[in-house]
Amino acid sequence: MTTLTTDQRSPRPAVDTPRLRVVLLLDVLDGHQERFLMAYEQIRHQVADLPGHISDQLCQSLGNSSQWLITSEWEGAEQFLSWVESAAHRKLVEPLHGCVRDTQSLRFVIARETPEPSAVLAAKTHAVAAPSKAGARKSKVDPVPAPPLASGGVVRHALTFTVKPGSEPAVAKILAGYRSPKARVDGVTQLLRTSLFMHGNRVVRAVEVAGDLGNALRHVASQPEVRAVEEAVNPYLEEARDLSDPTSARTFFARAALPAVHRVDAAPGTAGELTRLAYLHTVRPGCGEAAAALLAGLDRAAAADPAQPLVAATVFLSEEVLVRVVDLRGPHRETAAGPGLRGAAAELGRLLDLGPGGDLSTEEGVRRYLGDCAMQPVTDRRTQES
């Protein structure tokens, strides 16, 4: 199973994270329990076949028959978020929306477990190799270090939407002129940076948060200065929204979500002022994930090369919208934001729409392509704790 809400999302963490536990609390409408169970039965078998899904449980409250709990376990946050942020997920869970009054979604990485999976495996292996005799002393398995607790590290997320053609200058002025909200959200969460870019009529807002992303986004949305900006932008949106209506807001943020699918972090101790740039890549149908992985691999190789100016990068992807945000150090050429594009020209040509006459096999072609993809910086703000 999975969540019904999409405005409480957690960011994708780095690779090799512990398993993920998703908890969904539901208040089922009176007289709708049978309908709810039928909808869940249809959904759970399809979810069980998803990559990374491990298990599911549906529980009913012992003292309140309208309260239900769905828990699911995933191999990692990456697989879960790829699913929950997809259009397929939104369509699949639609039958549940008419059955429930309220939902609350929580996500946790599994930090400790009893018994530890490695210990269970070791014990089973020992039992097969040397079956114990009745009354024999139980063997002791040496403890294995548990995975680290969630540290509340920096997470990245983005939102994207389009505005009516011709309104771009007015929208850019509104977005550049807002007053930053307070950086401190709670005891563990703080806003670190917000970067806004535009390409044609598409807007991308990338955020960096230390702590809980869901708490940070709710905090930002509740700030008067931010609400005023959102209201000012509303008349220019191609897709109408009413942020005062929970259903309209949930639908908008579900479609606007642009999760980080790959990230390359700057090496510790990276010195010097960094320039942040963003690129909107046009992806061929069905090639988003492959294109994102290839571009991230090129960025990773460049970041590991001290001679390259690229030191950090994040690839955001939602269906066919692919945005790369890169940080470059020192003076750099126009092609520095596209390391390795020439070497992967043939494969990229199959995954990306390079435009008429697009050619990545030459430096001039790379320069022209990056110029076409480059997003206009609107504002880039580092927040200070207050």
The SS3 call for residue 372 is helix
Asked which of 142-156, 313-327, 371-385 is least confident by mean pLDDT, the reply is 142-156
Count the Cβ atoms, other than its own, within 10 Å of residue 105: 21
Asked which of 135-139, 164-168, 325-329 is least confident by mean pLDDT, the reply is 135-139
pLDDT for residue 152? 39
**259 and 318 in contact (C-beta within 8 Å)?**
yes
Rounded to whole angstroms, the Cα distance separating 228 from 155 reads 26
Q: What's the CATH number where 274 sits?
A: 3.30.70.100
Same domain, 96 and 170: no
Q: Which of 4, 6, 3 is nearest to 254 (CA)?
A: 6
Q: Look at strands 202-210 and 154-162 and give their pairing.
A: antiparallel
Exposure b/e, 219-252, CB count within 10 A at least 16 = b:
bbeeeeebeebeebbeebbeeebeeeeeeeebbb
H-state helical runs in 177-283: 213-222, 224-233, 246-256
Rounded to whole angstroms, the Cα distance separating 28 from 271 reads 54
Rounded to whole angstroms, the Cα distance separating 148 from 146 reads 6
How many structural domains is the chain composed of?
2
Does 132 reside within a domain? no
Same domain, 249 and 159: yes
Q: Tokens for 344, please give them.
A: 């992967």
Same domain, 172 and 88: no
What mean pLDDT comes out for the span 256-284? 84
Tens digits of residue pLDDT in 98-137 = 888 878 888 887 878 787 655 444 444 444 444 444 444 4
pLDDT-derived band of residue 139, with 50, 70 and 90 as boundaries? very low
Among residues 94, 109, 124, which one ends one of the domains? 109
Q: Tokens for 251, please give them.
A: 């639908």
Does 149 reside within a domain? no
pLDDT for residue 384? 58
Tens digits of residue pLDDT in 70-97 = 999 998 877 787 788 787 888 888 888 8
pLDDT at 182 over 70: yes
Same domain, 92 and 201: no
**185 and 216 in contact (C-beta within 8 Å)?**
yes
pLDDT at 343 over 70: yes
Rounded to whole angstroms, the Cα distance separating 51 from 82 reads 10
Q: Tokens for 27, please give them.
A: 């208040």
Count the Cβ atoms, other than its own, within 10 Å of residue 365: 18
Among residues 74, 109, 144, which one ends one of the domains? 109
Tens digits of residue pLDDT in 191-243 = 888 999 999 999 999 988 887 777 777 777 777 888 888 889 999 999 888 77
Does 167 reside within a domain? yes
Same domain, 249 and 188: yes
Expressed as residue numbers, the domain containing 88 is: 20-109
**Residues 59-65: contacts with CB within 8 Å, 24+ apart?**
65/33
Instruction: Please state whether the peptide bond connecting residue 235 to the residue before it is cis, i.e. omega within 30 degrees of 0.
Output: no
* Residues above pLDDT 70, as percent of the chain: 83
What mean pLDDT comes out for the span 342-351? 91
Same domain, 194 and 88: no
Same domain, 82 and 185: no
pLDDT at 16 over 50: no
